[in-house]
Amino acid sequence: QNIDTYTSPMNLVCYHKQELERQLKQMQIDLNEKVNHMSGYNLKVEQLLQDYITENLHEFQNEIEHKIKLVTYDYQIEAIKQEFNRQNSTEYQKKLMKQLCLKRGEKETAEQELKILQERIDHFNAPDQSFEHSAIIDSIENIEIRQQLQQQYRKIIQQAKADFYMLSLQTAEEQRTRARLNYDNEVNKMYSIHHNALDFTILPLKMIDLIQERCRMIGERIQSVYNYKIECFHLKLQKD
């Protein structure tokens, strides 16, 4: 079924909500039919089945909750944009908002990239991490020589890892610094336009508030994405 491209965000949300409710109702009907044709099915079996699903679908549930958060953010971000356009915004004002939101996104992404990089480095630097042996060294029969080479090999690998992690952190920190500076410059530019304008309609405070609010929501959305990535990373470590 086609949806009008120009429908309001609320109508779009209502449409998808109704569609999900329809699918849920159909799934419940299908489940009831299967249960009615299953011998030995009772409340105890149903509870055991529910417990199993709850235990094994934890990751799937987290993924769904994460997607719901993103949809909520997307709706709010779009709603602010629509409100901005209702202020009879000019192309110049729209371009200004777009540029500021872009720089805020780049700033938050750089912040979160550094954060998740640090998480991974902390894990791989943990003392309980297994050491990858060299097959060539392991094939040496002389125990004394083999142990000496293994120690040297371990030191070389550890130093190479440390150098790589240091370079990665330095690069990420530089990107974060540039992104922060670019965003701050855009914010200062926006307020400078407002204060120096001969006509207050060039960039009213109402528009500035909407731009700042949209930037904030974009930042929170990116934070949510990276928090979910870190959570998945930790879950994977627990399994391994």
Residue 61 lies in a domain: no
Residue 234 lies in a domain: yes
In terms of residue numbers, what domain contains 140? 90-239
**pLDDT at site 131:** 55
Residue 150 lies in a domain: yes
pTM: 0.73
Residue 131 lies in a domain: yes
Residue 147 lies in a domain: yes
Q: What is the pLDDT along the chain (240 residues), one digit of tens a residue?
A: 444 444 566 777 788 888 989 999 999 899 888 888 888 888 888 888 888 877 777 778 888 899 999 999 999 999 999 999 999 999 999 999 999 999 999 999 999 999 999 988 887 776 555 556 667 777 777 788 878 888 888 888 888 888 888 999 999 999 999 999 999 999 999 999 888 877 766 889 999 999 999 999 999 999 999 999 999 888 887 776
Count of structural domains, the chain: 1
Tell me the C-alpha distance between 231 and 111, whole Å.
Answer: 17
**pLDDT at site 5:** 47
Contacts with 127 (C-beta within 8 Å, 6 or more apart), sequence order = none
Residue 171 lies in a domain: yes
40: left (phi over 0), alpha (psi -120 to 50) or beta: left
Residue 230 lies in a domain: yes
Residue 205 lies in a domain: yes
